Chains A and B, each alone.
Chain A
Amino acid sequence: MKYTMRLAAGLLFAATLTAQVTSERLLNAAQEPGNWLTYSGTYQSQRYSPLDQITRENASKLKLSWVFQASSLQKFEATPLVVDGVMYLTQAPNDVVALDAKTGRKFWTYNHQLPETINVCCGAVNRGLAILGDQLFMGTVDGYLLALDATTGAVNWKTKVVEYKNGYSLTVAPLIVKGKVIVGTAGGEYGIRGFLDAYDAQTGEQAWRFYTIPGPGEPGHETWEGDSWMTGGGSAWVTGSYDPELNLVYWGIGNPAPDWNGDVRMGDNLYTDSAVALDADTGKLKWHFQFTPHDEWDWDSVQVPVLVDREFQGRMRKVILWGNRNGHFYVLDRATGEYLLGKAFVHQTWNDGLDEKGRPKTRQAAAPSIEGTKVYPGVQGGTNWYSPSYSPQTGLFYLSVWEYASTYHKNDPIYAEGHRFLGSLPRRVEGDPGYGAIRALDPETGEMEWEFRMVEVTNSGLLSTSTGVLFSGSNEGHFLALDARNGQEIWRTNLGGRAYASPITYTVDGEQQISIAAGNALFTFVLGE
């Protein structure tokens, strides 16, 4: 009986595979929670699922269904996509795998060969795919954007986006908006000039480019002294969000280069460490908000912009919630970029508060020095690129945090195309490792509602559900289910590997599943009896 049903379902896939993911489905992804259609689940990037089979009451009965072991020793940073029972994921650096999401068995693998010498600061990684129609899209570490046939894994087109030999790379999961594939470049440690690009999904032709560092004659160019804008960094390596009503794409921009010596790039260094809102059709800048002007601590603002429509200070507003690497939680109006709230969510020693426009009153004494300056938060920030979650059900914003300091050093940077351009490197404070936590913030005030504290720091993203469960991995190797109302642990299991991605949930044959990458494998759980 079961075999017959699976066969029938399989035939259904075959019948519906062509034009399987339309732009309308992407716009309405929240209406089909059985699938996971974009990097962050929906254009709002809340990583919140309305699925309700797994609850606070029964989450303790979760049991392992299957494991996919990646043929890769690189960090597993990819969020999979799930479309009508088929899971698509990347195996780092740039293999694409299509699986039966029910069994974990493989349909096909696409192998992408990289050159022997590649320029990546932090591992040859990839954060995932995008899908439109019957095509999958992937950026590669050696700088290409690929369109693959979702049925066979064959390459439909391949466009060179960046020159990897000059320090650029693509690690981001693309975002599809109105038939365009949007990607941002990595390479902030290599003295690049960052940008976001849009390509026609059908042809692979470039539709627009937005440079994250304004050129001569453009507004903001004056925030870079001399020629420093040419090597000023401003990467864009984590996927943004999209508001179809405003037709704006939101993206977080990375650190200025060199990272830890700002003397050679005097000025605010726009649009590094900023949120930018771009017209989806043209890539033109609508507004920006800079979290950390003239950053000397490497606090990329490459967080996922979380779009929420909710009451804020007495009236309904379209806002962005942003837990920034600089240790502060922000609420911005996403139509205008207006600063509405900012509050530290970890211990911080680098500013004396934010002014009425959200600009930090930076302490001179927090600047890096030759012998080293101890500053909270440390170089990995109060949080980093790992996805937060917002639950409309609890009204809380959840994020993974590091409570720790670094000693920030400063040296003389040497620029050479394609080589690291850093101006020294921070160190951990020996004997003071700090700790990690999952925290819940009230977006109205920025106040912490609860925390789940861990001995080790955490690189895992989060997922909340309508049944009040919050899921997370950890550096300690645990997969956790917490009560989203109060942070109480409901269930855990040891997966034996660090989680560098976020859990996702979806259904196969009507049954809710949850998947999380840990170590070099992807683990999938279902409810047991």
Chain B
Amino acid sequence: MKAFRIAMVLFLAAFPAWAQHEEVVNPRQSPEDVAVGGRIFRSHCAVCHGLGGVGDRAPNLTTGQFRHATSDSALHEVVSRGIPGTEMPGVYFNGAEVWQVVAYVRSLSGAATDEKITGDVAAGQKVYASKSCARCHRVNSEGGRSGPDLSRIGGSRSQAHLRAAVVNPNEKVLPNQWRFSGATKDGTIVSGRLLNEDTYTVQMFDARLGLMSLAKADMASYEVLKESAMPSYEGSIAGKDLDDLTAYLASLR
């Protein structure tokens, strides 16, 4: 316990400098710190960034380049507070533990698997058009609204995740993509993306009817489907087409 306390006094001595946004050396860089940071990463970061930080639903962290942070201080800030406007939350740990995560993330740089773009972006854009992706998806204000807006999707998803989402869209369906399907008592069939729900009402987007707010008491039947509205393109987009489409999606940032 005493050793802990002495270590923390040293750490706290460095803290005010960081608080003023001056560059500080990460005070938690020992191999033990990297190991502890790695365990925290497995618990709290790997679910999106993948084991070993290779990227999945969240970006690959092994390239040595971080879109939202160029310094250790900035990484500390990102891990502590999250990135506003993205799915990245801050973690609720004390400063020393955040530094350990930063040390672990730094240790990943160049370690293994910087993803190489193998497809052709321009060809991928043609695949996107030929398969009518824009019927449901939107890129830079063009396209449908029933699926997720893809304008910046390459900045937040790994290529492997994008590829998997095309061939197996039901593998990971986030709650903001759940669907609501039902029939009102007057016979209207509604189906679309679930936006909000409470005990009495549901708010949804139906591609045909637009934004709808329904009273459950007026519904003859309804269900919440925790599955994607997107069909699987397994087999129908494959080989070079899939490489090219993935490259195109990865280029959207």
Contact = CB atoms under 8 A, between A and B. Distances in A.
B96 interface: yes
Interface stretch (A271-279, A290-298, A407-415): A407-415
Contact of A414 (B8, B174, B200, B226): B8
A419 interface: yes
B43 A424 contact: yes
A360 interface: no
Given A372-B43, A430-B175, A431-B173, A420 B1 contact: no
Contacts of A416: 4-5, 8, 11-12, 94, 96
Contacts of A227: 1
Contact of A431 (B42, B175, B197): B175
A416 B98 CA distance: 14
B44 interface: yes
A416 B40 CA distance: 18
Contact of A433 (B42, B91, B94, B175): B175
Contacts of A73: none
A374 to B, nearest CB: 13
Given A371-B43, A411-B36, A414-B96, A456 B8 contact: no
A476 B198 contact: yes
A17 interface: no
A412 B8 contact: no
B141 interface: no
Contacts of B8: 414-417, 419
B199 A409 contact: no
Interface residues of A, number: 32
Interface string B83-122: 0000000011111110000000000000000000000000
Contacts of B175: 430-431, 433
A431 B40 CA distance: 22
A419 B39 contact: no
A421 B1 CA distance: 13
B5 A417 contact: yes
A99 interface: no
Nearest to A409: B43
A453 B216 CA distance: 14
Interface string B13-57: 000000000000000000000001001101110010000000000
A476 B94 contact: no
B4 A456 contact: no
A230 B95 CA distance: 21
A219 B43 CA distance: 37
B199 A415 contact: no
Given A424-B40, A424-B43, A427-B47, A414 B97 contact: yes
Contact of A411 (B39, B197, B199, B200): B39
**How many B residues touch the partner, as a band?**
20 to 34
B222 to A, nearest CB: 12
The A interface, classified by DSSP as helix, strand, loop or mixed, is loop
Interface string A446-471: 00000001111000000000000000
A371 B47 CA distance: 9
B43 A415 contact: no
A209 interface: no
Nearest to B9: A416
B42 A371 contact: yes
A370 interface: yes
A422 B4 contact: no
A455 B44 contact: no
Given A416-B4, A422-B93, A455 B12 contact: no
Contact of B92 (A226, A422, A433, A477): A422
Contacts of B174: 430-431
Contact of B44 (A415, A425, A477): A425
Interface in A415-444: 415-417, 419-422, 424-425, 427, 430-431, 433
A487 to B, nearest CB: 13
A407 to B, nearest CB: 9
Q: Which of B4, B197, B199 has the most C-beta atoms of chain A within 10 angstroms of its own C-beta?
A: B199
A347 interface: no
B20 to A, nearest CB: 14
Contacts of A474: 199
B40 A411 contact: yes
A421 B97 CA distance: 10
Nearest to B226: A431
B197 A455 contact: yes
A225 to B, nearest CB: 12
Contact of B93 (A371, A417, A425): A425
A478 interface: yes
Contacts of B44: 409, 424-425, 427
18 contacts: A227-B1, A409-B44, A410-B43, A411-B97, A414-B4, A415-B1, A415-B8, A417-B8, A419-B8, A422-B92, A424-B44, A425-B92, A427-B47, A430-B174, A431-B173, A431-B226, A456-B198, A476-B198
Interface of A: 226-227, 230, 370-372, 409-412, 414-417, 419-422, 424-425, 427, 430-431, 433, 453-456, 474, 476-478
Given A371-B42, A430-B175, 12 more contacts: A226-B1, A227-B1, A411-B36, A411-B43, A415-B5, A416-B11, A422-B93, A424-B43, A425-B44, A433-B175, A455-B197, A476-B199
Interface of B: 1, 4-5, 8, 11-12, 36, 39-40, 42-44, 47, 91-97, 173-175, 197-200, 226
List the 7 closest pairs (A to B, CB-CB), nearest first: A416-B8, A409-B43, A419-B94, A476-B198, A420-B94, A454-B199, A414-B96
